[in-house]
Amino acid sequence: MDQPSDKSLKRMWTYFEKYSEKTGTSGHPDQGVTEAVVTGLAAHVDEFGRPLCPCNFYPDKKVELERSREWVCACDEMKRYKYCHCLLFVTEEGLPITEYLPEDHEGQAIYGLVKDPTPDKGREARHKIGQEASSSDS
């Protein structure tokens, strides 16, 4: 991966700081984890104009961006469940919040129940939980 531009790096660091504050989450205690994810997001901003999650595999990143915004940071899982599989937005201990995930979600199996230390912050799209299933049933 090419190094992202200073402009995109600065933009993504600012975004990370503001979104962490907004959601009551922390960066990973291993600074290298946070740096790697922010750098990946910045590289995608340079390449695609949007911060596509760098921690997923996409057969075709451009198609993924055209298809939906599901994996554009902050991804749908973060906005609905306050769960960040990249470990960018986590508890002070470095664990992703799993409290709101569906019971069958892989995050529950991997990390167990991780309570939200700031339940009054974040989850701006929690009202969308279950809408996909109910709209596809009609």
List the catalytic residues: 55
Q: What are phi and psi of 114, to 5 degrees?
A: -115, 110
The single residue listed with the structure tokens 């596509």 is 52
Q: Which of 5, 95, 105 is nearest to 86 (CA)?
A: 95
CB atoms within 10 A of CB 118: 13
